[in-house]
Amino acid sequence: MKTRVAVMFGGKSVEHEVSVISGIQAIMSMDQEKYEVIPVYLTKKNEMYVGEEIGKIEAYKDIPGLLSKSQRVILVNEDDHIVLMPYPVKLFGKKGIEVDIAFPIVHGTNVEDGALQGYLKTIGIPFVGCDVTASALGMDKYASKVVLKENGVPVLDGYCFTTSDYAEIDSILDKVEKEIGYPAIVKPVDLGSSVGISVARNRSELTNSIDDAFLYARKIIIEHAITKLREINCAVLGDENEAIASECEEPLHTKDILSYEDKYVSNAKGSGSKGMAGVSRKIPAELSPEKRKEVQELAVKSFQKLGCNGVARIDFMIDEENGKLYFNEINTIPGSLAFYLWEPVGISYPELLDRMIRLALKRVREEESITFSFDTNILNQNSLGGVKGGKMGKLKAPLQ
């Protein structure tokens, strides 16, 4: 009997369109002999839809038209059976679609940051990829670096600023000029795909960069920008107990940093977007055997210290002036699931997807052995009577 996999993509995120590409790439590559795939599209309001056209990339040229031909659904747990049930409630007489596991292929805030994972966990459906904690930690560029620095992973020091700091922007500018200097790189703390990221070389540019970053997030991080920079990426497959590293890549870009246009726009012209699989890059990256080993070992260490599961891509920076390697960020659900980094080491995309699903099911088996509740008598009548003179005894009855 085939395992029913709900592949979820889209969502309320500035990386919505990128997620659609990644999700449909995976759907087209999944082993149809082993898995029955149910494409589930999340709109920009996080509403879920299923239908015959949902898994076809060409249908997304007219999303309103696509939705008019599709069925909105919600996830329901009925006696440990997870069902994609037609919505609204008046349609519950219609038969739903039972699924065995969810496979979120989503990017960015509101979906990749633990929000969707928490929803799935609350419902009780097994899901592929990082759990709630690792997803949230991986999305926060500042928090992840704090954790990794404590565990011996080299990172660039930076400062995190909030919207309250932004109200006194001159203080931010003064602090950056005094503590970081130029050039400085400004990033939203919880976005990917290079959205809202820019390099500033003077106070005017820094002001513009901060204004832009705060359009996309409530917190930003500012670091010193490496002048002679090489970017090296490496993916990791596994869990916190056992993981392996992929081949390394060096992405090529047109500016100081790899931009959104480099990733998703320029490579799509004339041929249809291939997502991150279409980015100009060197695979394998031109690295000495020693440096390649250093990158791969640090990638696995970062992955495991953050408690990741499934596949993640870790992006590193090399300062060519001194040869030092720094962790930059982790992508807990990387664009195109970084399948192009696994093919050079003999792992095909269908096999990669299969391994990710098996890792998720392994986590379910491990969690089933953990005690999450135990029987007590604290709520029986006698126990309640014992607290009448304490704080509970002072509570008022609720208003009717």
> What's the pLDDT tens digit per position in 139-190?
999 999 999 999 999 999 999 999 999 999 999 999 999 999 999 999 999 8
pTM of the model: 0.86
Q: Which residues of 144-166 are buried (b: 16+ CB within 10 A; e: fewer)?
A: bbebbeeeebebbebbbbeeebb
Q: What percent of the chain has pLDDT over 70?
A: 84
No. of H helices and E strands in the chain? 12, 16
pLDDT tens, residue by residue, 265-318: 444 444 445 555 556 889 999 999 999 999 999 999 999 999 999 999 999 999
pLDDT in the model for residue 242: 97
pLDDT in the model for residue 193: 56
Angle between helices 115-123 and 132-139 in degrees, nearest 10: 170
pLDDT in the model for residue 267: 46
Residue 100 has pLDDT above 60, yes or no: yes
Average pLDDT on 36-50 reads 97
pLDDT in the model for residue 266: 45
Residue 24 has pLDDT above 80, yes or no: yes
Higher-confidence residue: 391 or 316? 316
pLDDT in the model for residue 349: 98
